[in-house]
Amino acid sequence: MRDISEKVSYLQGLSEGLNISDGNPQGKIISGILGVLDDVSGILVDMRSEFNIVKDYIESIDDDLFELEENFKQNTDVIELRCDNCGEELCFDADLIEDDDVIEIICPRCNEVVFINDGSFDYEYSDYDDAIGDEHDNGMNVDS
């Protein structure tokens, strides 16, 4: 990018040295074009540095997201329920069971109440990986 700025500066110096803009129309056009090129290369340099800032920022968000995902997988007990009304399977954070407030879990499909944390519902704990199914299955079954 710096290379482009240097080339443009060189050409501008050259055109001044040769006095190409003195009088003749072609010379005026050439120095006009060089002026535009100079502006464009300046904009490119600015954009490159802004791009690098944004890129670093996105990379740091990506790292944070990865960390968050790992923590979530490790720390979350999930309760799986099947809606009696429509059969929809749903998962929710087991911490809700311990919550002091009464929390109703509503089926996202049919809006029936599928769970209330007042002790009147049965539930089973399962870990996160069971709850999300075979997503991590690499398809290679090894018989032992």
Q: Does residue 77 contact residue 93 with C-beta atoms inside 8 Å?
A: yes
Contacts with Zn ion by CB under 5 A lie at 83, 85-86, 88, 107, 109-110, 112
Task: Please work out, in degrees rounded to the nearest 5, the angle formed at the alpha carbon of residue 53 by the alpha carbons of 51 and 56.
Answer: 105
Closest CA to 81 of 73, 72, 71, 91: 91
Nearest distance in Å: CB 106, Zn ion:
9
Nearest distance in Å: CB 89, Zn ion:
10
Closest CA to 85 of 112, 58, 117, 123: 112
Nearest CB to Zn ion, comparing residues 11 and 109: 109
Cα(133)–Cα(117) distance, rounded to whole angstroms?
25
Nearest distance in Å: CB 100, Zn ion:
27
Nearest CB to Zn ion, comparing residues 34 and 107: 107
Nearest CB to Zn ion, comparing residues 34 and 83: 83
Report phi then psi at 105, rounded to 5: -95, 125
Nearest distance in Å: CB 118, Zn ion:
20
Nearest CB to Zn ion, comparing residues 88 and 93: 88
Show the tokens assigned to 91: 């998962």
Count of C-beta atoms within a 10 Å radius of residue 34: 20
Nearest CB to Zn ion, comparing residues 83 and 105: 83
Nearest distance in Å: CB 67, Zn ion:
34
